[in-house]
Structure formats: C-alpha cells, structure tokens
C-alpha cells in the first residue's frame, strides 16, 4: 500500500471528472478539434512554467533518450490522438457518458498487458471485464438522443469515446516504460505534452486550420477561459497526478481509483448542469466501476 500513490489516483479521478465537464462545455462552444489544439498549448505553457520553478528548466533536456522516446510516443498516442477522439465524444454524447466510456481504459490496458507482456487473466478478472462492459453497455443503451440530434450521433460518440479510452490505455502503458528509474512525473508530463502539441499543431498547419482556429476563439472568448482552466486541471494536475499514481502505487489500485471519475461526474451533472439521470445510468455506472475494481483488485 502506498498512501501517496493512492491519494494521487483519487486526485486524478477528481481532476478528470472536472476536465470532462469543462472540456465537454468547451467542445460544444468551439468544437472538439479547437478544444484539443488550444488546451495542449495552455498545458505546455503551464507545465513549462512549473518545471522551470521546480527544476530550473522548462523541459527536461537532460533526460535520457529512452525517456524522450517512450514518453513522446505516449504523448502522441494518449494526449494527441486519444484525447482528440475523447473530446469528440464529449461533444456528441456529453461529459457524463463520455467519462464513463473513458473508464474502459483499464480494460484495454489489461488486454495490452496480455498481448504484449504475456500477463494472464484470472476467472474473476474476466468476470470484472464482463461486468464493466455490461455497465457501460447499460448506460449507452439508456442514453436517449434529443429529437434534434442527427441520426447516429450517439453511435459515433460512443465509438469516439472507446477510441479515446484505447488511446489513454496505450499512453499509460508507454508512460510506465518511459518513467523507468523513478523519472519525475512532472518532467514526464512535459515531454508527453510537448510531443502531443507538436504533432497536433503540425497537422493543424498542414490542414490550413491555424487561422480558422484563431477566428473561432475570437468569436467565443469565454471558451478561452474554459480551455485555460481545463488545461490547468487536466494536463497539469490530472495527468501529472496520474503518472505519480502509476509510478508509486500498484497499477491495478491506481487504475481502479482513477476509474471513479464517472461516478464523481454523476452528482455534478445532476446538481450543476440539471441533467436528468435515470436509475439505469446510476446502476450501469456503479456496475462498470465494480467491474474495473474486480479486474484490478483480485
């Protein structure tokens, strides 16, 4: 048991829940792609300033090449590609369902560990996967589209959410490899977000979307404050806390505690955003969390 690592995992769950709500709102205001591009810039600036204060260098230039390779790959897959899908999911089906789909990331992580590292699953862990998938499926089934929502909107949102979860799972697996030797999580986060920001904005310029991105922000100045706040809570605090949790605590315990984020989103969605939540969604969310807990705690 590592109290610091487990507390870091709980902090991550709270940060990811708040991030889902903040970026979900921003995605509906300026679009998921603009949200992803701008929050990465804010996150890079925030992490650079923090690393400058803590280590007297904005980026870990003194880190070994192996750290840069694994963490850069982790950032591209997890923060650039994975989160791009996740924000599209938030915009399509909302932060509550989007964050629940994200909680399937530990399941993908288990599959990757089985495929690439030969880790086997017990019967109880397989039961956990079944329960988690049943819970997620129940919430998705109970999700009703608005009459004005385009046909197939929910289907695309669910697919994007699952792709986002797959990206996060792959990113964490690669991060574990990149932080070998007790590499500091804040420095690791800086490398990850630098790689993600570089790729995202390179593609933005290639697609001639830099100017449209700025024009969109000018039309929605409130979105800029939301994106800055989301970057502070997500890429700075949440991602760094998740790396600290994975580094200090057992991966299973950390992943289970981080998977609490959709449970945390439920009361916020109900009391703050006045979203109607049926008993099917509540039971499905708790069932999904129970499945994740079984998967990693047995």
Structural contact between residues 17 and 285, judged by C-beta atoms closer than 8 angstroms? no
- Count of other CB atoms within 10 angstroms of residue 232: 18
With a cut of 90, say whether residue 255 has pLDDT above it. Answer: no
User: What is the residue-averaged pLDDT of the chain?
Assistant: 84
Summarize pLDDT for 272-295 with one digit per residue, the tens: 777 777 787 788 878 877 877 776
Report the pLDDT value the prediction gives residue 34, as an integer from 0 to 100.
94
Phi and psi angles of residue 33, each rounded to the nearest 5 degrees, phi first: -70, -45
**pLDDT, average across residues 122-134:** 78
Which is more confident, 108 or 164?
Answer: 164
**pLDDT, average across residues 7-35:** 90
Query: Using only C-alpha atoms, what is the Rg of the chain?
Result: 18
Report how many helices (DSSP H) and strands (DSSP E) the chain contains, helices first: 15, 0
With a cut of 70, say whether residue 257 has pLDDT above it. Answer: yes
Tell me which DSSP letter residue 260 carries: T
Give the position of tokens 């590292």: 117
Which is more confident, 119 or 18?
Answer: 18
Q: In 178-234, where do the E strands start and end?
A: none
| Candidate from 117-121, 241-245, 269-273 with smallest mean pLDDT | 117-121
pTM check: above 0.85:
no
């Amino acid at each position: 048991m590592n109290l610091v690592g487990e507390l870091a995992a709980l902090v991550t769950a709270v940060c990811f829940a708040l991030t889902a709500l903040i970026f979900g709102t921003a995605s509906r205001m300026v679009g998921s792609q603009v949200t992803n591009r701008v929050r990465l810039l804010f996150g890079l600036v925030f992490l650079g300033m923090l690393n400058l204060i803590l280590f007297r260098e904005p980026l870990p230039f003194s880190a070994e090449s192996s750290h840069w390779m694994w963490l850069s790959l982790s950032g591209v897959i997890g923060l650039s590609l994975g989160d791009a899908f996740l924000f599209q999911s938030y915009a399509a089906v909302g932060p509550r369902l989007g964050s629940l789909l994200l909680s399937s990331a530990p399941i993908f992580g288990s599959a990757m560990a089985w495929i690439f590292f030969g880790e086997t699953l017990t019967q109880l862990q397989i039961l956990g996967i079944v329960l988690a998938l049943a819970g997620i499926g129940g919430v998705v089934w109970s999700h009703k589209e608005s009459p004005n929502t385009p046909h197939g909107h929910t289907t695309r949102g669910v697919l994007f959410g699952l792709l986002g979860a797959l990206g996060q799972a792959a990113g964490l697996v690669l991060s574990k490899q990149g932080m070998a030797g007790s590499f500091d999580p804040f420095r690791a986060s800086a490398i990850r977000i630098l790689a993600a920001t570089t790729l995202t904005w390179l593609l933005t310029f290639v697609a001639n979307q830099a100017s449209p991105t700025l024009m969109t922000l000018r039309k929605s100045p409130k979105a800029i404050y939301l994106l800055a706040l989301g970057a502070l809570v997500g890429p700075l605090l949440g991602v760094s806390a998740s790396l600290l949790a994975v580094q200090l605590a057992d991966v299973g315990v950390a992943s289970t505690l981080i998977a609490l984020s959709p449970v945390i989103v439920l009361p916020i969605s109900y009391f703050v955003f006045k979203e109607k939540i049926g008993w099917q969604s509540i039971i499905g969310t708790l069932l999904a969390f129970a499945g994740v807990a079984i998967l990693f705690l047995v």
